[in-house]
Structure 1
Amino acid sequence: MSRGDAGARRLYAWEDSEVAPRDTSRVPFAQLQALVDHVWAAEGLRFPPRLRPLPRQARATVARATRLAIEAPSMLPTWVLLHEVAHSMTSTAEGENDGHGPRFTGLYLQLLVRHARMPEAALAASLRAARIPFDPAARPVFLA
């Protein structure tokens, strides 16, 4: 999750106003893999991405993900980890991904509702108000 991604500024602003205030938890790196494994299994998926430390030179990046790996700092808010898990679910091993498009945002919304117990109706309404498209029936790209 790089704050410099121009195509994602509205989504990041939405997260800052709607998601971050609802979840102030922070998870240490040593526990992140267990959380990813739990979410992945709960979603009926196998072979979760592996956690790796975020390189020190990645100063403008909060975290980042591909289908195979999530790079994270020493401590990460739960909602940011779910954001990265949604990226893993919308990416292929070959590097194709949805960016912050409707499939990503729909999956991210589902993860926030199921795993962070956030209110679906309120979040969906706020996405619509922010004119951020999302697919409420989104599925991981490798299952679609």
Structure 2
Amino acid sequence: MSTTADSRTLTAPPALYVDLRSCPEGAGRARHLAAEFLRGLEPPLYQEDIEAVVLVVSELVTNAVRHAEGTSCALHLSACPEAIAVAVSDGSHVPPQPRTPDVSGEGGGFGWSMIHQIAEAVAVTDETAGKTVSALIPRHREDGSAHH
């Protein structure tokens, strides 16, 4: 077997992977770690992109904490040139369900539709140990338009 060398270098995109406890503090920790990771990227993200990704992270981790089985969930962020991929895995096989928003502010119901509005793509993958909910959030260009 032979291999050929190429002048190009293969490098993985910057990524963050963290196991989180399924407790209310888990969502706060996820927001903090995500924002810290995003602020360290080169080229830098626009503030509105950081806020969008952190909001999606917060919603996905909060849903995992509230609705999933088990004591932990995992957050995975990956920075691609045109988008940020967010994935949250938990121990439940039940996919997220859209709900009628509670406008009184007590019952929630806004998160799943909001994630779909922010993200370019959303997927739910059933796995042996539970599920992973993924969202792809586009990065904005210098002219202010989003990559699509």
TM-score, normalised to structure 1, is: 0.29
Q: Which structure shows the bigger proportion of residues in helix conformation?
A: 1
TM-score normalised per structure 2: 0.28
Larger radius of gyration: 2
